[in-house]
Chains A and B, each alone.
Chain A
């Protein structure tokens, strides 16, 4: 059931200088029931958004690593504009960037936002854009991943995954303990640049190597559907964790073919060093070791909860270039 389209006085979006944040801002501005859009990004205003809106869009460049700046934002412009919902999409998109600063953006900024939103006079909802990367994929786990599926808490997981799990869990822990309504959206991979999609980076080579003898089922989402899900979350009738699958569920080999690439199967043991070499010498972001299991075993998000509660069903297939 679709939630009623109640008006929102103001929405704050972080990460608006990414394709997802930008598309979300455009979409919210196109929605007459949304009053003000407060767009937050790390870039200077002249580089951040290729569009403007005289009355309803405010862009502010803020370093989310500094809690003081976040506080000034929330209790300054956000309060003045009557922001009711915060949509947090700002996450480090690179799997190769690691360290304290990355952790501060991925986790500490989420923690600060949540903490400050809890005592904010106008904000009543916090939406976190999480991702399917938080889930464990392995042979003895269900193919269809529900929200209670085991998370990837492996100590050997790279920071890219650990940070996402930590931010996600942090938001989940606050549910029910806070006056805020918290919605966590675990989105399938968005096949788009700048969204943190490992699959997108993997598909940038003309030849894509995959483990010989394995062809797992995967699910990917279009930017358009990811935006629709985030919009639905702003008006979710209840807080909670929701998987957001895309309209495309297909084998890895078919994904490669539809992207117009050539798939070549190689022994799995060769792929980690091969892609490490690609990462080192070609500057790519894809890490095979991080994706090894999902390149062997199927893992598809089960979107039943999002369908039943948020009224979200994926409708827009990926625009396959191949």
Chain B
């Protein structure tokens, strides 16, 4: 048994209510030994809840708005802005859905290819539900009725310069192509706070442990900004598009512009409503 399995089991045993009860209600596809084919294990989800709890509750003091927009079941694509130099925005969004969605669901973050190549991190994240960023992985999850979590900005988003905060970078279109093909609604999410957590002023093209660059930041660690996670109403992709339109570049671009506008609107609302970066 790996060290990760032992720690995960201990974390699961020590998980308190309401999370213990919620974890039991979460649905996943057990491929026979307690793991799903991608490596997800409920004990590791428990570990994820416990690891992220201090960050979620005390450091970033996450405030969630509109979690009821997460569908109770069926395939869905959650799209959010990506920022902050280190992927704590993804961790907090994952934690927010795991802790608050009703019924409880496990989102499946779709990570860039380099993440599975990172020792320890790649395995830990896979146990919590992450999958590598190939269309094949996302397709299987959606066909199984899972909910995938996509950051269409990708690495350029998380590595954006501080001056570009809250400006969405290139908005990749793969997420809507998948949503159209598999008849999944898209749930837009705006994450406010992460864009200021670790101001990035440059980057070195040094590849370390599979990471695509080495950031130059004003702070060595993320600042204790307050996170606001805003979920918008689902964009009813199956009502707007036919599955065969997934092969039409014009339609896909138009749908992607729709999801981008929805995320931008949530960011603007979040920025307007918050009282400050740290409060």
Contact = CB atoms under 8 A, between A and B. Distances in A.
Interface residues of A, number: 32
Contacts, number: 94
Interface of A: 139-144, 146, 149, 211-217, 219, 247-251, 253-254, 257, 263, 265, 296-298, 300, 302, 317
Interface stretch (B91-99, B116-124, B178-186): B116-124
Given A143-B37, A217-B38, A253-B1, A317 B134 contact: no
B31 A146 contact: no
A142 B113 contact: no
A38 B229 CA distance: 68
Contacts of B137: 142-144
A254 B3 CA distance: 11
A214 B140 contact: no
Interface in B38-89: 38-39
Given A139-B113, A139-B117, A214-B119, A249 B32 contact: yes
A254 B120 contact: no
A263 B6 CA distance: 13
Given A215-B39, A265-B2, A297-B132, 12 more contacts: A139-B132, A142-B132, A142-B135, A144-B137, A214-B119, A217-B38, A217-B126, A219-B37, A250-B31, A250-B33, A254-B33, A263-B1
Contacts of A253: 1-2, 5
Nearest to A263: B2
Contacts of B223: none
Contacts of B31: 249-250, 300
B180 to A, nearest CB: 20
A67 B33 CA distance: 46
User: SS class of chain A's interface: helix, strand, loop or mixed?
Assistant: loop
Given A142-B134, A249-B37, A317 B32 contact: yes
B241 interface: no
A209 to B, nearest CB: 13
A255 to B, nearest CB: 9
25 contacts: A140-B132, A140-B133, A140-B134, A141-B134, A142-B139, A142-B140, A143-B131, A149-B136, A213-B120, A215-B4, A215-B39, A215-B123, A217-B38, A249-B31, A249-B32, A249-B37, A250-B32, A253-B1, A253-B2, A253-B5, A263-B1, A296-B117, A297-B116, A298-B37, A302-B140
Contacts of B132: 139-140, 142-143, 297
Nearest to B1: A257
Contacts of A265: 2
A216 B126 CA distance: 9
B111 to A, nearest CB: 10
Nearest to B3: A265
B171 interface: no
B136 A213 contact: no
A298 B139 CA distance: 16
A10 B278 CA distance: 78
A139 B32 contact: no
A251 B35 contact: yes
Interface in B107-163: 113-114, 116-120, 122-123, 126, 131-137, 139-140
B29 to A, nearest CB: 10
